[in-house]
A = this chain, B = another copy of it.
Amino acid sequence: MKLLEDRILQDGTVLPNNILKVDNFLNHQIDPQLMLAMGRDFANHFADKGINKILTIEISGIAVAMAAAIYLNVPLVFAKKTASVTLAADLYTAKVTSYTKKTEYTIRVDKKFFTANDNVLIIDDFLATGEALRGMTSICQQAGAKIVGFGIAIEKVFQNGGDYFRKLGYDVYSQAMIENFVNNTVKFKDR
């Protein structure tokens, strides 16, 4: 998606350890018009797939997932990383390792939100090694829900998470595919 790639080139910063900082439009400050364009793009790609629910993970997946939910006109559920007094006891859980934060955490989804009748689009802002997607995949599998595909804003291709899910037969649609970082600049795949 050229709009997102151009924005990454314009406003993104490459940090050490292959980290791309996109805090001025995606995960600290959010550009709502860009989110809407991305949501429309996801909805176009996954149109006519019978999607009835979106699953994402807090925190920075929420804005782009909501934009997709607007255009697909389906509810959005975000998996929670922390316990809460308002969270039910009857939960699907999965363990996730954070690449940028070097920590392991548990994600939680109330069981009432996913059943074997659901066709789920999983959305996240980044796909690197794929740990967060594995956690969300596990939650859908526990519910018996069908995963229609993965909608990703930015995929770091060289970290192989996308490859892992594509080999399993999933439709992994990434709006910006970063092949690698060369001298602190972003090189996109096929561009």
Contact = CB atoms under 8 A, between A and B. Distances in A.
A75 B36 contact: no
A149 to B, nearest CB: 19
Copies in the complex: 2
Interface residues of A, number: 43
A96 interface: no
A32 B70 contact: yes
B19 A86 contact: yes
Nearest to A61: B62
A179 B82 CA distance: 29
A21 B86 contact: yes
* Most central of A62, A69, A77, A109 by chain B CB within 10 Å: A62
Interface in A64-92: 66-67, 69-70, 73-78, 80, 82, 84-88
Contacts of A24: 112-113
A28 B110 contact: yes
A113 B29 contact: yes
A10 interface: no
A159 to B, nearest CB: 15
A162 to B, nearest CB: 21
Interface string A26-56: 0111111101100000000000000000000
A75 B110 contact: no
A28 B101 contact: no
B32 A110 contact: no
Top 9 closest A-B pairs, CB basis? Answer: A32-B69, A30-B76, A32-B70, A29-B77, A21-B86, A58-B59, A62-B62, A63-B66, A29-B75
Contacts of A74: 32
Contact of A86 (B23, B30, B59): B23
7 contacts: A15-B85, A24-B112, A28-B78, A28-B87, A28-B110, A59-B78, A85-B100
